[in-house]
Structure 1
Amino acid sequence: MALRVLSAKSSAALDQELMSAGAFSIDQLMELAGLSVSQAVHKLQPLNKGRRILVACGPGNNDADGNCPAGPDAQTGGDGLVAARHLWHYGYQPTMYYPKQSKNELYQRLTTQLHALDIPFAQDFGAALAQTDHVVDAVFGFSFAGEVREPFPAVIAALAAAPVPVLSVDAPSSWDIERGPPPDGPGKAFHPQALVSLTAPKPLVKWFGGRHFVGGRFLSPAMAEKYGLDLPPYEGIDQIVEVPVEGQKL
């Protein structure tokens, strides 16, 4: 099975169209994306392999300002918050690393939901990493650009050297959507074991060699056709489907 990739420009346009012609709210899209992430974790890390999941979230929206751009690809930090709630209900023991919490009302509600479940928020990423079985990298998504700001350089370096599997959401943190891993810096050596692409794969999958899932079961056939995308063969109630990384159409 070969899936077409979605460029940065097309990703932004599709996100806007999902919110307008598609009539989706940001809450809906984030919930579906986070659900997809949680199902990918369950595939990769069944409960009998270890229940401790460390979820590392960026500023809430993949940028440094705490604003909330539209679309399922544009808020990896929020997707991590949603995924953690689902993982708790599955029987996992999530721990959050969320050092730059967004002031956006939507993200504050998601955080309140996690506090209601007594999900702990770690202050020391290294210490939390030493006590987990699996990591969800929801720090930066595909819209990341520019310099990696504190405290995230050390976090990305720790992810690159993590002794446990790492699942990245939409893009390995610090990777460029079109050009893949950065030529220098901590992200240069960061190659996670798994990736879940939301809506559709991005061009960066050309440089990715781990297990690859596509998630986000919300595209209509008409919208997929308009953007030249393939609807993956989701099975039953699954929100994700695993695809071979060598099968992407550039």
Structure 2
Amino acid sequence: MSSATGAGREPPRYLSKAEAEAIEKELLEDYRFGRQQLIEIWGHACAMAVTKAFPLPSLPRKQPTVLVVCGPAQNGAIGLVCARHLRIFDYEPTIFYPKRSPDPLYRDFTTQCEKMDIPFLSYLPTEVQLINDAYNAVVDAVLGAEAEAGEGREPCAAILATLKHVRIPIVSLDVPSGWDVEAGSSGGISPDVLVSLSAPKQCARRFLGRQHFVAGRFLPYDVQKKFELNPPKYPGTECVVAL
């Protein structure tokens, strides 16, 4: 058993899609978290998870390059925030964001990345180019829990087709793109790292990669108790922990 769960601790609760939506609704409506605030918390935690999975001294390439692939909905906005924090942490993120949301909040996140001189690609490199262009990892912020809404649509379908074949590590945010929140993968991508936001979703039981992180320390205690989340122990001041 890992140190996050520890002896005598109940394992974390794995949430259904309805339960995850209920927690987010409660945070927004009852606890008065703003949508920007939640996306910022989650994006920062995802960047922290990337730094834990791929610490700077251990990277095989000279430049700590990361390709962040963002979809049009909330998971894509989390990816934008993740990229901004990776830049602050001295990584070299590049963003592919082909279908930009008209949401003013998401536009602001985009502007923040542009102002920090994070490059935006006009096309997604092929699987061969991804390796040859010296990316250390790909952050999958394409669909997440919104899989049902866009998996078969372009440009998401083409992105998933490429990500299924890349050989460099993939870090998926919350729910790997193309996976059902509860049932898991149906021939979709196979990420090496999964970052569960707030709490693991049921599909995470079928995750076979090398590291699974949870970013839920920010949740108010009453929310943790109400939904019986049994969160892992976060050491020190850590906001994200490996299960």
- Please give the TM-score of this superposition, normalised by the length of structure 2: 0.88
2:69 to 11, 33, 56: 56
What residue identity is the alignment partner of 2:199?
A: A
Residue 178 (structure 1) aligns with: 182
Is residue 18 from structure 1 mapped to residue 27 from structure 2 by the alignment?
Answer: yes
Residue 169 (structure 2) aligns with: 165
Residue 130 (structure 2) aligns with: 129
Distance in 1 of aligned mates of 2:14 and 2:24: 15
Runs in 1 of length 4+ with deviation above 6 angstroms? none
What residue identity is the alignment partner of 2:136?
A: D
Residue 105 (structure 1) aligns with: 104
2:39 to 9, 21, 30: 30
Deviations 1:156-202 (A, max 9, x none): 122121121100000110100111112xxxxx142110100000000
- How many residue pairs align between the two structures? 224
What residue identity is the alignment partner of 1:19?
A: L
Residue 215 (structure 2) aligns with: 215
Given that residues 198 and 214 in structure 2 are in contact (C-alpha distance below 8 angstroms), is that contact kept between their aligned partners in structure 1? yes
Given that residues 147 and 178 in structure 2 are in contact (C-alpha distance below 8 angstroms), is that contact kept between their aligned partners in structure 1? yes
Deviations 1:113-148 (A, max 9, x none): 111111110122125623211110000011320542
Q: Unpaired runs of 5+ in structure 1?
A: 62-74, 183-187, 244-250
Distance in 2 of aligned mates of 1:142 and 1:107: 17
- Please give the TM-score of this superposition, normalised by the length of structure 1: 0.86
What residue identity is the alignment partner of 1:135?
A: V
What residue identity is the alignment partner of 1:83?
A: C
Distance in 2 of aligned mates of 1:143 and 1:120: 26
Provide the aligned C-alpha RMSD in A: 1.4
Cα offset for 1:46? 1.3
Residue 225 (structure 2) aligns with: 225
Q: Give the 5 Å matches for 1:138-157.
A: 138-145=141-148, 147-157=151-161
Deviates more, 1:208-217 or 1:170-179: 208-217
SS of aligned partner of 1:143: helix
SS of aligned partner of 2:199: coil
